[in-house]
Structure 1
Amino acid sequence: MTTATLSPVGLAALWRLLSLGLTPPSAETLAEVEALAEGLDELGGFPEVIDVLDALTRSTTEELAAQFFELFGGTVQVAPYEGSYELDPIRQGRQMADVSAFYRAFGAEPAGPAAERPDHAGCELEFLSFLELRRLAAVENDEDVELLDDIGASFLTDHAGRWLPTFFAGVTEGGTRAPFYRALAVLGARAIEDELTRRGIEPTPLPRRPSRLSVEADSFECGAADSSPRRYRR
Structure 2
Amino acid sequence: MTSQQPMHRVSASATAMLPNPSTIKDSPAVERALSRSKVYLLVSWSLLYPEDEEFLDYLRCGEFVEDGRTALDALGVALGADGSQRAKDKLVALKKQLDLVEGLIASECVNWQLSDLQSEHRRVFSNVITLDCPPYETLFGNDHVFAQSHVMGDISGFYKAFGVELSKDIHERLDHLSVEFEFMHFLAYKESYSLCHDGPEKTQIVVEAQKKFVKNHIGRWVPLFCRMLAKKADSGLFKLVADMTADWMEFETAFLAVTPQPYTETDYRPATFSSPEGQTYECGAQDQGNELSMLLNEVGAQSFMDVKEKDKDKDQEEGRPSGTA
TM-score by length of 2: 0.61
User: In structure 1, which of residues 70, 84, 103 is the aligned counterpart of residue 123 of structure 2?
Assistant: 70
Computed over aligned residues only, the root mean square deviation of the Cα atoms, in angstroms, reads: 2.7
User: What is the number of residues matched between the two proteins?
Assistant: 220
Do the aligned residues in 1 keep the contact of 2:129 with 2:283 (CA within 8 Å)? no
* One-letter amino acid of the structure 2 residue matched with residue 123 of structure 1: V
* One-letter amino acid of the structure 2 residue matched with residue 13 of structure 1: K
Do the aligned residues in 1 keep the contact of 2:215 with 2:259 (CA within 8 Å)? yes
Separation in structure 2 between the aligned mates of residue 230 and residue 186 of structure 1, nearest angstrom: 32
Separation in structure 1 between the aligned mates of residue 168 and residue 115 of structure 2, nearest angstrom: 19
Q: Which runs of 5+ in 1 are unaligned?
A: 221-228
Displacement of 1:119 after TM fit? 0.2
Do the aligned residues in 2 keep the contact of 1:78 with 1:174 (CA within 8 Å)? yes
Asked whether 1:82 is paired with 2:137, we answer yes
Displacement of 1:51 after TM fit? 1.9
Displacement of 1:153 after TM fit? 0.7
User: In structure 1, which of residues 21, 28, 31 is the aligned counterpart of residue 54 of structure 2?
Assistant: 28
Asked whether 1:198 is paired with 2:255, we answer yes
Displacement of 1:114 after TM fit? 6.0
Greater CA deviation, 82-91 or 208-217?
A: 208-217
Separation in structure 2 between the aligned mates of residue 163 and residue 199 of structure 1, nearest angstrom: 17
* Seq. identity, %: 22
Asked whether 1:103 is paired with 2:164, we answer no
* 1:7 aligned counterpart, secondary structure: helix
* 2:258 aligned counterpart, secondary structure: coil
Do the aligned residues in 2 keep the contact of 1:83 with 1:96 (CA within 8 Å)? yes
* 1:10 aligned counterpart, secondary structure: helix
Deviation string for 1:55-96 (max 9, x for gaps)? 345222322211211222236231010011122321111111
TM-score by length of 1: 0.83
**Is the radius of gyration larger for structure 1 or structure 2?**
2
* One-letter amino acid of the structure 2 residue matched with residue 15 of structure 1: Y
User: In structure 2, which of residues 224, 229, 244 is the aligned counterpart of residue 171 of structure 1?
Assistant: 229
Asked whether 1:9 is paired with 2:8, we answer no
* One-letter amino acid of the structure 1 residue matched with residue 135 of structure 2: P
Separation in structure 2 between the aligned mates of residue 113 and residue 51 of structure 1, nearest angstrom: 32
2:298 aligned partner: none
Q: Which has the higher contact order (CA 8 A, sep 6+)?
A: 1
Separation in structure 2 between the aligned mates of residue 113 and residue 185 of structure 1, nearest angstrom: 26
1:51 aligned partner: 100
1:40 aligned partner: 68
Separation in structure 1 between the aligned mates of residue 103 and residue 171 of structure 2, nearest angstrom: 26
1:224 aligned partner: none
